[in-house]
Chain A
Amino acid sequence: MSGRTEGGVQARASQTMLALFLRDIRLSIRAGGGALTGVIFFLAVIATIPFGVGPDLNLLARIGPAILWIAALLACLLGLDRLFQADREDGSLDLLVLGHDRHMLALTVLVKCLAHWGGSVLPLVVAAPLLGLFMNMEPMGIGATALTLLVGTPAITFIGAAGAAVAVALPRGGLLISVLVLPLTIPVLIFGVSASYGAVADPDPFLQPFLILAALTLFLAVLGPVAAALALRHGTD
């Protein structure tokens, strides 16, 4: 194959994927999309914590990063069931799966994950600094937590895609996905929280857990979509 046609193929593939990305982003911000659901859930959890824990400002500041991370993790899981189910219900999923011979299904899934992350999870990361103020966190801690969320939450989406693909045919699969996915997200949570603490508590390191978190995201960016594509190809009925 000559260089020109290969370039043409690549240009076409990137155009295809851009179209898919833009469609999913549009869907998430239009009426009925999940963009705000997660943020509102996130806000509700963080806003109630100070009432439950009590007015101990030092305690709030100390548990702040962990609470932000846990709330963000749960808010991420909330919208995952719609990742493929919406496409399955209207028949689009069949056509996405049939496109496998033109562009790998795993790539399609990766792009859908990125769009889901951009549409539903990125707003959480943006809201996190504001909610950090509720937890009486210091600016350094807020910045570190937002940064670790930015780097770590894609990993949750990638794992979640595999869970969503397995449960795509099940009605009310949302809870099942959460149960399937939650144990796998624990490493992400652990390294995310320890990096956030590392930035404020002096003897603890920041860089090592942060780099492991980044590595987890990169690793799962490959593994998650491949697993999800496999499940989707064998799950059609």
Chain B
Amino acid sequence: MRLIAENLGGERGGETVFSGIGFVLEKGEALVVTGPNGAGKSTLLRVIAGLLPVAEGRVRIEGGGEDFPSIASACHYLGHQNAMKTVLSVTENLRFWRDFSGEPLLSVEEALEAVGLGGIGHLPFGYLSTGQRRRASIAKLLVSRRPLWLLDEPTAGLDKASEARFGGVMTDHCRQGGIIIAATHLPLGLDGAKALVMGETV
């Protein structure tokens, strides 16, 4: 499986935010997107996911097979918001996304264990701290199988230990043949990741 972007351009409200972005990611590879605020990192991720229309160029996935014919069906999108309901418990939230996304992978308990939140699944999501919310949201990536992870500031609010643990989670994902595109300001601890610096060439 490979992800190919050719001469990709994106716009917001009619204004071109970036253009001419091109990369090829083979399975097991990661791309770290950096750049100043407003350089278009989030827009790039949303364009790749298909949440925003492609202004120019194209992005496609190859070799996804029957299970993952398109980017939207092959990706986990972790945006700025956590996509969790504050009045439902962490377990209820994760169980919903596991059922809704299909392709179940880890059980809810295993996923919580993997992000270091074992034993708090019964708490309402709204009771968690910012960092814990982010970690619960990261657990969402683990409960169903998707080869492509699109991560927008995934480590915002995480402490050092959680950052390191998340680095391990991402490394595992790549080792199992996954592809990661992460937009970030902070070092992610992804060894051998490709780098894309936005806001300089545009």
Point out residues on A near B: beta carbons under 8 Å: 12, 15-16, 18-20, 23, 26-27, 30-33, 89-92, 94-102, 236-237
Contact = CB atoms under 8 A, between A and B. Distances in A.
Interface in B74-129: 75, 77, 79-88, 92, 95-97, 99-102
Nearest to B86: A90
B100 A237 contact: no
B52 A102 contact: no
A30 B88 CA distance: 8
Contact of A91 (B83, B86, B87): B83
Given A16-B99, A30-B87, 17 more contacts: A16-B100, A18-B99, A19-B96, A23-B88, A26-B88, A31-B87, A90-B83, A91-B82, A91-B83, A92-B83, A94-B79, A95-B100, A100-B72, A101-B72, A236-B51, A236-B52, A237-B52
Nearest to A98: B72
A171 to B, nearest CB: 16
Nearest to A12: B102
B83 A94 contact: yes
Contacts of A92: 83-85
A20 B96 contact: yes
Contacts of A23: 85, 88, 92, 96
Given A27-B85, A27-B88, A236-B51, A99 B79 contact: no
A89 B86 CA distance: 12
Contacts of A12: 102
Given A27-B88, A237-B12, A98 B51 contact: yes
Contact of B81 (A20, A91, A98, A237): A91
B69 interface: yes
A144 to B, nearest CB: 37
User: Which 3 residue pairs across A and B have the least CB separation, nearest first?
Assistant: A91-B81, A19-B99, A101-B73
A90 B81 contact: yes
A26 B96 CA distance: 11
30 contacts: A16-B99, A18-B99, A19-B100, A20-B96, A23-B96, A26-B92, A30-B87, A31-B87, A32-B87, A89-B81, A90-B81, A90-B83, A90-B86, A91-B82, A92-B85, A94-B49, A95-B77, A95-B83, A98-B49, A98-B50, A98-B51, A99-B101, A100-B72, A101-B69, A101-B72, A102-B101, A102-B102, A236-B46, A236-B51, A237-B12
B155 to A, nearest CB: 17
A15 B77 CA distance: 22
Contacts of A101: 69-70, 72-73
Given A31-B87, A90-B83, A237-B52, A95 B97 contact: yes
B85 A90 contact: yes
A46 to B, nearest CB: 29
A20 B100 contact: yes
A1 to B, nearest CB: 9
A205 B164 CA distance: 72
Contacts of B100: 16, 19-20, 95-96, 99
Contacts of A20: 96, 100
Contacts of A94: 49, 51, 77, 79, 83
A91 B50 contact: no
Interface string B160-200: 00000000000000000000000000000000000000000
B87 A27 contact: yes
Nearest to A13: B102
Contacts of B84: 90, 92
A31 B124 CA distance: 12
B19 to A, nearest CB: 19
Contacts of B51: 94, 97-98, 236
A17 to B, nearest CB: 9
